[in-house]
Amino acid sequence: MSRLARNILFNIIGQGLVLLLGFVAVKYIFSLLGDDALGIIYFSALINSILMGVLEKGVYSTAVREISINAKSDVVYTREFIRTGTLLTWGAVLIFGVIIYILAPLFVEHWIKVVIVSESDAINSLRILGISSLSAFPLSFYASILRGLQRMEYNNIIDVATTALQQLGVVVVILVSGNFLWVVLWLATSYMIKIITYLFVCVRFFPVTNFVPGFSVNVIKRVSGFSLKMIYISVLSMLHKQTDKVVLSKIETIGVLGYYGFVYNAISKAGLLTLAISNAAYPSFCDLSTREDQSDLLGQFRKLVELVLYVTVPIFALIIYIAPPLFTFVFNEMVSQQLFVPVILLCIGFYLNGTLSVPYRLILATGKPEIAVRQNILALIFVLPITVLLVYRYGIVGAATGWVLYFVFGYVYILPKIYRKCLQCSSIEFFQMFVRVTMIAIISYFAVFYYIYLEYRLDIFELLVAYIIATAIFLIVAYLSISELLRLTINRYASSILRLK
């Protein structure tokens, strides 16, 4: 099995287990602590996402790119890069931690609508969760080092193990104390455990002195152009991805934000396959682009794009099929019905997002992030105002609709430019594949989906049987429709698995 295929497999298994574990604590938080507690947790996550949006893509993409290119060939530069990254990421924790501490009372008093939890508890919770979750800055940096080394098995082992520990701890704390603040303290502790674990693994590959904060002017000069473009993308992307939830937190109760935040995060995790493929492909794209191997780069890109277009359809279809009974179990039937249409729209949006993930990694690998910068600036002008109006008019349905519009705009603007500037070919082949996949998905899944929508059936057995039949039809037709190159690759891996048995 190639390193690329192995990394994809580790990403799928690891992130899939993380997704399943994520449902455990939410069930207990909602049923035993109430929707206010759930909403405060997700509002803290929203603040963290906004702050992370300022630097995260710059940290992540730059670290993966620099480590994958220089880890073996330039040890001195790699050491200085890691030391400088350590200083910048922990410095961000300090700066933004002070900001969160100061602003937490203002958020509680003038923005969010708390019904059950006291204002003092809400303020303390926001401070603890917001500051501790900023560990995601250095955490993202350490995780990116491992991705740059193409050792993603460690990322997924750590993510699964620490998430399992976090969820188990939440359940135990709730059952023992029933106190929301103790849950908050445990969540903060679990963040620290995760970052220590990542750092411990990183020092297996680099001397521990590499992780002592330092500063190198040479590193800043070398990466500043690429990193600044990535920060622009991060900020603009953050505005598009978080504005709907910011507006919701003002016009709805904190509990509604909690429902929507949970569903949004859960469905985003369902894009684990595309994330696994694109994350695994990124270091490989960087390597091929550096070697100027255009033929292999184009071949690998085409194969991965087609793979993503097809294999993610059954995942999002499954979410739509099981959403009614699943969210009735996690919340209740009334909340489940309220979430049904947003779930469908979010699945469409995240599917479109996933199909853009491989092209997006290509523009980073080829050093052309300005394409994404321009796309996000134009979307800020044309899409974001519409999203805000939709949220004010239709609440969570409007928020989910705005999410779909953002990626439709991305299809129209960014894909032709990626194909023309990065691959020197036409994007018509992508749109032909997309139309073909869409038609096969509609034929395979629409009839049963329409029945579910009209009857609102909640029997999980019937839903799963219907889904299995529809998926079998989809996979058969898809296999007959894919390119010869992808079919040969699938057959080769299938033969390898059979021989192992």
User: Is 287 found in the same domain as 215?
Assistant: no
| Spatial contact of 130 and 45, defined as CB atoms under 8 Å apart | no
- Position 206, amino acid: F
* 248 in any annotated domain: no
pLDDT in tens, the chain (501 residues): 555 555 555 555 655 566 666 666 676 676 666 667 777 777 776 666 666 666 556 667 778 778 878 777 788 888 888 898 889 889 988 988 898 899 888 887 877 777 677 778 788 888 888 888 888 888 888 888 888 887 777 877 887 788 778 878 887 888 787 777 888 888 889 888 988 999 999 888 888 888 899 888 888 888 777 777 667 777 777 777 778 887 887 787 777 778 888 888 888 877 777 777 777 777 778 777 777 667 777 778 888 888 889 988 998 998 888 888 888 887 878 888 888 889 999 999 999 998 988 888 888 788 787 888 788 888 888 888 999 999 988 889 999 999 999 999 989 998 998 888 888 888 898 999 999 999 999 988 877 666 666 665 557 777 888 888 889 999 999 988 888 877 887 777 666 655 544
Q: Which of these three, 177, 199, 228, is where a domain ends? A: 228
Phi/psi of residue 134, nearest 5 degrees: -65, -10
Q: How many domains does the chain have?
A: 2
DSSP 262-303: HHHHHHHHTTHHHHHHHHHHHHHHHHHHHTT-HHHHHHHHHH
User: Is 401 found in the same domain as 281?
Assistant: yes
SS (H, E, C) 165-218: HHHHHHHHHHHHCCCHHHHHHHHHHHHHHHHHHHHHHHCCCCCHHHHCCCCCHH
Matching residue, tokens 């799928």? 12
DSSP state of 72: T
pTM: 0.74
**149-194 pLDDT, tens digit each:** 877 778 778 877 887 788 788 878 887 877 778 888 888 898 889 8
User: Is 16 found in the same domain as 89?
Assistant: yes
Question: Which of 410, 493, 483, 60 minimizes the C-alpha distance to 234?
Answer: 60
**398-431 pLDDT, tens digit each:** 999 999 999 999 899 989 988 888 888 888 989 9
* 251 in any annotated domain: no
User: Is 320 found in the same domain as 200?
Assistant: no
What range defines the domain where residue 349 resides?
270-501
| Spatial contact of 433 and 280, defined as CB atoms under 8 Å apart | no
* 125 in any annotated domain: yes
| Spatial contact of 159 and 118, defined as CB atoms under 8 Å apart | no
pLDDT value at residue 129: 83
* 259 in any annotated domain: no
Question: Which of 27, 22, 39 minimizes the C-alpha distance to 121?
Answer: 39
Q: What gap in Å lies between CA 477 and CA 225, rounded to an integer?
A: 46
pLDDT value at residue 405: 92
pLDDT value at residue 451: 66
User: What are the CA-CA distances from residue 246 to residues 114, 212, 386, 433, 492 (Å)?
Assistant: 15, 37, 15, 36, 48
User: Is 288 found in the same domain as 212?
Assistant: no
Q: Which helix (H) or strand (E) segment is 369 a member of?
A: none
- Position 86, amino acid: T
Q: What gap in Å lies between CA 269 and CA 317, rounded to an integer?
A: 14
pLDDT value at residue 471: 92
* 441 in any annotated domain: yes
| Spatial contact of 287 and 68, defined as CB atoms under 8 Å apart | yes
Residues 492-501: contacts with CB within 8 Å, 24+ apart? 493/1, 493/5, 496/1
User: Is 207 found in the same domain as 276?
Assistant: no
User: Is 479 found in the same domain as 351?
Assistant: yes
Q: What gap in Å lies between CA 86 and CA 69, rounded to an integer?
A: 19
Question: Which of 348, 371, 374, 349 minimizes the C-alpha distance to 361?
Answer: 371
